[in-house]
């Protein structure tokens, strides 16, 4: 899919702006604090999701410079090509509430947009995917799996609930030995659900890993190899039954130490996705550019998976991705991402010079100027 027209009114620092991007790479450049990220944020909201910056909807309307209050009439509009036809959507934000209009049909919430406009976003906060602990990497797998396989979300939710019940029970078990029987029931449930979560995550990793590796090879011009591997806290067990059996054994082996801490120490909630560059951990040893390239590869691989899923590529939004990348890597992003619409923000006009094809927009004080090549 691709955006044909995007317009913003009284959104962040954008008063009344409209762009007609090209179907390939669009670079949005300008100095700091001019409105580049605001533009991407506006487009992202059409996925039906929350702001990728964690902003509340009440923060999105333009603040009146004279009164310091939110202005009314905040609206975003997008004409896009998807499902083999031109479509249009309008998103209004008033008093912290969203309402939408899709192809002329009005809805009183933002959720009807979900699935209509698909996008993948890289923003500097996503670097934590590599830099931080395993929770964010598990979240990467779970989010992708929920989109890919609708039956996964209820299993994951049921697992999390069962785990909370078990942890609560562990805290009480020292006071009442009879609770052991109840614990056995929860253990069986956790082992069954947990085995499904692990199995799905492993098969997703097997599917996405070659894509991530291929993209990383492109970004690094074949100089470095990136590998991702699912790293379970339960070692061994290939089949669903095998993992379940192993999980059940481990739960009973660790029960006394778990009872002391009130926390279940094994299971998919403790697993990780190992990211290695040339055989060593990207988290511990990766340079800034390598870590950035790893996250980018993971995000672009997510876009490939979404393409397989829906039959058309999502929009790729890359916020502030260029800093810390050398010329070769910047060139890859500007000139070698084929077959999908890309929006890239950056500060330096020098970076824009590397671009061979596409469109560029200069942003200054909330105004967007398309520029000739
Ligand atoms: N609700 C709002 N109303 C008016 N102005 C806003 C609002 N929210 C943010 N801004 C302004 O928008 C500007 C920031 O825009 P944005 O984050 O898009 O900058 P940027 O061009 O991406 O800069 P950088 O290169 O530093 O990332 C700031 O000056 C900020 O004060
Ligand atoms: Mg920005």
Q: Is 182 annotated as a binding residue?
A: no
pLDDT digits (tens, 9 = 90+) for 245-294: 999 999 999 999 999 999 999 999 999 999 999 999 999 999 999 999 99
CA of 63 to the centre of ligand 2 (A): 18
- The closest-lying atom of ligand 1 relative to the alpha carbon of residue 60 is 1
The pLDDT of residue 107 is above 90? no
- Nearest CA among 136, 138, 134, 194 for reference residue 161: 194
> Is residue 336 within 8 Å of residue 328, measured between CB atoms?
no
Pocket test for ligand 1, best of 14, 17, 37, 361 (most atoms within 8 A of CB): 37
Higher pLDDT, 114 or 139: 139
CA of 304 to the centre of ligand 2 (A): 25
Q: Which CATH superfamily is domain 129-285 in?
A: RecF/RecN/SMC, N-terminal domain (1.20.1050.90)
Residues 6+ apart with CB under 8 A from 201: 138, 141, 142, 145, 230, 268, 271
- The pLDDT of residue 147: 79
pLDDT digits (tens, 9 = 90+) for 10-40: 999 999 999 999 999 999 999 999 999 999 9
- How far apart, in Å, do the first and last CA atoms of the chain sit? 25
**C-alpha–C-alpha distance, residues 229 and 360, integer Å:** 38
Pocket of ligand 1 (CB under 6 A): 12-13, 30, 32-38, 59, 62-63, 320, 347, 363
The pLDDT of residue 313 is above 80? yes
Domain 2-118+314-371: give its CATH code. 3.40.50.300
The pLDDT of residue 111 is above 80? no
**Would you place residue 344 in the very low, low, confident or very high pLDDT band (cuts 50, 70, 90)?**
very high
CA of 14 to the centre of ligand 1 (A): 9
- The pLDDT of residue 115: 81
Longest dimension (CA), the chain: 77
DSSP 8-state secondary structure symbol assigned to residue 54: -
- Nearest CA among 44, 75, 91 for reference residue 319: 44
Average pLDDT over every residue of 303-313: 92
Closest ligand relative to 363 C-alpha: 1
Give ion ligand 2 contacts, CB < 5 A. Answer: 37
**Crossing angle for the helix pair 327-335 and 288-310, nearest 10 degrees?**
10
**Would you place residue 109 in the very low, low, confident or very high pLDDT band (cuts 50, 70, 90)?**
confident
**Would you place residue 178 in the very low, low, confident or very high pLDDT band (cuts 50, 70, 90)?**
confident
CA of 366 to the centre of ligand 2 (A): 12
> Is residue 119 within 8 Å of residue 43, measured between CB atoms?
yes
- The closest-lying atom of ligand 1 relative to the alpha carbon of residue 59 is 1
Closest ligand relative to 123 C-alpha: 2
Average pLDDT over every residue of 296-321: 94
The pLDDT of residue 204 is above 80? yes
Average pLDDT over every residue of 109-117: 81
Paired tokens of 73: 């009439």
**Would you place residue 137 in the very low, low, confident or very high pLDDT band (cuts 50, 70, 90)?**
very high
- The pLDDT of residue 169: 93
Going from N- to C-terminal start, the domains of the chain cover 2-118+314-371, 129-285
């Amino acid at each position: 899919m691709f955006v044909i027209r995007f317009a913003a009114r009284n959104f962040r620092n954008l008063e009344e702006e409209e762009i007609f991007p090209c179907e390939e790479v669009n670079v949005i450049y300008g100095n700091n604090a001019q409105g580049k990220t605001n533009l991407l944020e506006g487009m992202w909201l059409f996925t039906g999701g929350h702001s990728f910056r964690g902003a509340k909807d009440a923060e999105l309307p333009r603040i009146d410079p004279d009164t310091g209050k939110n202005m009314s009439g905040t609206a975003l509009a997008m004409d896009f090509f998807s499902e083999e036809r031109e479509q249009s959507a309008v998103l209004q934000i008033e008093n912290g509430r969203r309402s939408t209009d899709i192809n002329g049909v009005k809805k009183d919430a933002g959720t009807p947009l979900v699935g209509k406009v698909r996008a993948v976003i890289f923003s500097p906060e996503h670097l934590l995917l590599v830099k931080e602990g395993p929770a964010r990497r598990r979240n990467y797998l779970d989010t992708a799996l929920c989109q890919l396989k609708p039956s996964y979300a209820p299993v994951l939710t049921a697992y999390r609930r069962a785990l909370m019940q078990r942890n609560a029970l562990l805290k009480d078990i020292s006071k009442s030995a009879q609770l052991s029987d109840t614990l056995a029931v929860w253990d069986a449930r956790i082992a069954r659900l947990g085995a499904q979560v692990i199995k799905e995550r492993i098969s997703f990793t097997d599917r996405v890993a070659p894509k991530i590796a291929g993209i990383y090879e492109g970004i690094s011009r074949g100089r470095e190899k990136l590998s991702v591997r699912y790293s379970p806290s339960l070692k061994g067990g290939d089949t669903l039954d095998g993992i379940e059996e192993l999980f059940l054994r481990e739960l009973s082996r660790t029960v006394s130490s778990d009872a002391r801490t009130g926390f279940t120490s094994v299971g998919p909630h403790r697993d990780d996705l190992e990211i290695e560059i040339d055989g060593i951990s990207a988290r511990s040893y990766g340079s800034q550019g390598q870590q950035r390239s790893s996250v980018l590869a993971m995000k672009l691989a997510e876009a490939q998976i979404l393409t397989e899923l829906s039959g058309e590529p999502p929009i790729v939004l890359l916020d502030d991705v260029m800093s810390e990348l050398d010329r070769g890597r910047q060139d890859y992003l500007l000139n070698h991402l084929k077959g999908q619409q890309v929006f890239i923000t950056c500060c330096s006009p020098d970076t824009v010079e590397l671009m061979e094809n596409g469109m560029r927009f200069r942003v200054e004080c909330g105004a967007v100027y398309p520029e000739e090549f």
